[in-house]
Amino acid sequence: EEQLVESGGGLVKPGGSLRLSCAASGFTFSRSSMNWVRQAPGKGLEWVSVISSTGSYIYYADSVKGRFIISRDNAQNSLYLQMNSLRVEDTAVYYCARAGPAAIRGSGYFDYWGHGILVTVSS
């Protein structure tokens, strides 16, 4: 069974840093593009970043560009999101999501989702 499990969330002060992890199992992680999606409390879904299967293609939403870094370790079946210079408006549940089998170069719909992890940025 395909599974994505996020970890590393919590409370951080504005300007601080946090690193999220996503552990994948039940599918061939090394062949899958992976994404981070977030949802602020009571708000809609916001795509954050994508990394292709080999890491050759990486894209970010304008709202996080220059502050967040997506990376992956295919040997460990893990996806990461390094979040720096955090702002109050980054408070959200962060989901890890797999792009479907036809995804190339950072495209693709999301067929598997994790349950999400809460990041709270507050003083």
Partner 1 sequence: DIQMTQSPSSLSASVGDRVTITCRASQGISNSLAWYQQAPGKHPKLLISAASTLQSGVPSRFSGSGSGTDFALTITSLQPEDVATYYCQKYNSAPLTFGGGTKVEIK
Site mask, partner 1, residues 52-91, x = CB under 8 A? -------x-xx-----------------------------
Query: How many CB atoms sit inside 10 A of residue 83's CB?
Result: 24
- 27 makes contact with partner 1 (CB under 8 A): no
Which of these ranges, 18-26, 43-51, 69-77, 81-89, lies near partner 1 under the rule CB under 8 A? 43-51
Which residue from 84, 111, 118, 120 is in contact with partner 1, where contact means CB under 8 A? 111
Decide: is 116 part of the binding site for partner 1 (CB under 8 A): yes
What span, in angstroms and rounded, lies between the C-alpha atoms of 108 and 47? 12
When asked if residue 40 is in the footprint of partner 1 (CB under 8 A), the reply is: no
* Cα 33 from chain centroid (whole Å): 11
In the block, residue with structure tokens 């293609």:
57
* 20/96 Cα distance (integer angstroms): 9
